[in-house]
Amino acid sequence: MLSVEETIVGTEAAQIPKQRGESLLETAVRYAEERHWDVFPGTWLEAAEGVQRCSCGEVACAAPGAHAARTDWASQATGSATVARRMWQKQPTASILLPTGRTFDALSVPETAGFLALARMERMELMLGPVTLTPDRRMQFFVLPGAAVKVPELVRKLGWSPMSLDLTALGEGAYVSAPPTRYGSRGAVQWACRPTPANRWLPDAEELISPLAYACGRDR
């Protein structure tokens, strides 16, 4: 069984993700400091009658403790380690959310397609950026900003209808949950491919779209 700090499909040891036992506050600060990612605190988990519930108050919350807590979250996001520290000091158990459309976009696919694509990318010797795996069985491949605009046409050029594949490009106005954010009792977000010095420069969506589209097509 993997712990939340461990990487599922790993490369070399890196500064990120966190050292075992490091707090959400320190992890958020390090994302801003070491990776220059914007971060913002989301909801958190609260114990109610022995059950972990989302701070939003919704009993049937789809992502308990792992979604934006405010409608103006985009203006709250910061790349300043000092500001990030101050925000998490106010709520140390808040989830860590990363806005897309700024330093990166994310290509989101089902977990089964994601693992298939990872194996194919390894055979193709493609350089990957960070990849997350969420408890709701999705993988997010970090790519250069602008992917959300380009992906539909790239998919069409490969002979697929964008509507026929479970492949979503997250850009401006969206966000992803970062490790070790927890989704209630379902578990924590993990790195399928961790951030390393080697993948600081992200791939373009065009470099990954073929194996991802192929994997999503197989996964239908």
pLDDT tens-digit profile of 102-140? 999 999 999 999 999 999 999 999 999 999 999 999 999
pTM, rounded to two decimals: 0.89
Banded pLDDT at 13 (limits 50, 70, 90): very low
The confidence score (pLDDT) of residue 51 equals: 82
Residues forming a β-bridge with 133: 139, 190
The confidence score (pLDDT) of residue 47 equals: 86
User: pLDDT averaged over the chain?
Assistant: 90
d(CA 88, CA 56): 17
Q: Is the pLDDT of residue 60 over 60?
A: yes
The confidence score (pLDDT) of residue 52 equals: 86
Between strands 138-143 and 105-110, the pairing is: antiparallel
Residue pointed to by tokens 């790239």: 154
Banded pLDDT at 98 (limits 50, 70, 90): very high
Q: Is the pLDDT of residue 69 over 90?
A: yes
CA distance to 13, 26, 95, 143, 145, per residue, from 104 (Å)? 22, 21, 19, 6, 5
Q: Is the pLDDT of residue 10 over 50?
A: no
* Helix, coil or strand: residue 106: strand
Higher pLDDT, 125 or 10: 125
Helix axes 111-124, 205-218, angle to 10 degrees: 130
Banded pLDDT at 163 (limits 50, 70, 90): very high
Rounded average pLDDT over 5-27: 56
d(CA 72, CA 77): 9
The confidence score (pLDDT) of residue 15 equals: 52
Rounded average pLDDT over 186-191: 94
